[in-house]
Amino acid sequence: MAMIYKTTLKPGKTELLTAWLPTRPWYASTGHAPELDRSGGFRLDDPEGAVGIEFMVLTDTSGGRETSYLVPLTYRDAPLDGAEAALVGTSEHGVLGTRWVYDGAHDPVLVGQLLALIQGRAVAQDQCDSDVPDPSVTALFAGAGPEIATVLSREGLDTSDTARGTDVVVVGARAAGTPGTPGTPPVLSVTRVLRPEDAREDACIAAGVTGRITAGWSTPDGSAHRGTFATLRGPARGAA
């Protein structure tokens, strides 16, 4: 269980992300500096208890429009080898000291737990309180066969950021307990620009999609929305 501390973080998350967001290919520039509102999100627990995992929704209201972004983050007590390009920044935590903050789509711990969430092996947690599940975050998994277990290493991920979002080819994925020859690895697609949609739990999964995470957020004008945060494509058996 992750412990949520009621303490300071300097610089704060919003301050770090205000500088970082415009450097991303999926950020829709308004020609102004971002004006960010925290609009929702949830957390996941690291089974080893070492890495903080947060899925943060931020709404940019600059330029007279509202655009909501999903930013998965990890918080570490030391740099993650090979992930220099994914570093959002460092911050001083009032209890834990220096924290290295990463774009979580490039962090194998977050990717492993997101796979577990899709497959029902992890439970979404409240963004602000310790040991409080968030039942509003739902997973739909249509895959067959064994659960996907992941090799938690940077070498096990091939992450691509594009104008439409972030795709993570989990080349280090293995079907738990299943020997055999390597197959096509699964692909996690992390939504970056969130759009409200029909995300009913009984809605059909699109062709080629074996799993999906849906969750909600609220924009500064008070509107409540719900949509897809991530999808899983490819064989449910992953690579053996």
- Which of 59-68, 77-86, 178-187 bottoms out in mean pLDDT, i.e. has the lowest? 178-187
Do the bridges between strand 52-60 and strand 36-44 make them parallel or antiparallel, or are there none, so unpaired? Answer: antiparallel
* Per-residue model confidence as pLDDT tens digits over 160-209: 999 999 999 988 675 544 444 456 788 999 999 999 985 554 455 666 78
Quick one: average pLDDT of 71-80?
Answer: 96
> What was the pLDDT predicted at 180?
47
Cβ atoms 210, 236 nearer than 8 A: yes
For 135-146, the pLDDT digits (tens) are 999 999 886 555
Mean pLDDT of the chain: 86
Task: Using alpha carbons, select from 222, 201, 197, 225 the residue that is nearest to residue 212.
Answer: 201
pTM as predicted = 0.88
Question: Is residue 22 a contact partner of residue 106, using CB atoms and an 8 Å limit?
Answer: no
* pLDDT, position 8: 76
pLDDT tens-digit readout, 89-135: 999 987 788 999 999 999 999 999 999 999 999 999 999 888 899 99
Residue 226: pLDDT band with limits 50, 70, 90: very high
ω into 11 cis (within 30 of 0): yes
Residue 185 CB coordination number (10 Å): 20
Residue spans of the domains in the chain: they are: 9-233
Lowest mean pLDDT among 3-12, 49-58, 62-71, 180-189: 180-189
Find tokens 């950021």 and name the residue: 161
Per-residue pLDDT reduced to its tens digit, 15-48 = 999 999 999 999 999 999 999 999 999 999 999 9
Those residues whose C-beta lies under 8 Å from the C-beta of residue 62, and which sit 6 or more positions away, are 30, 32, 33, 34, 35
Higher pLDDT, 186 or 212: 212
Cβ atoms within 10 Å, residue 17: 24
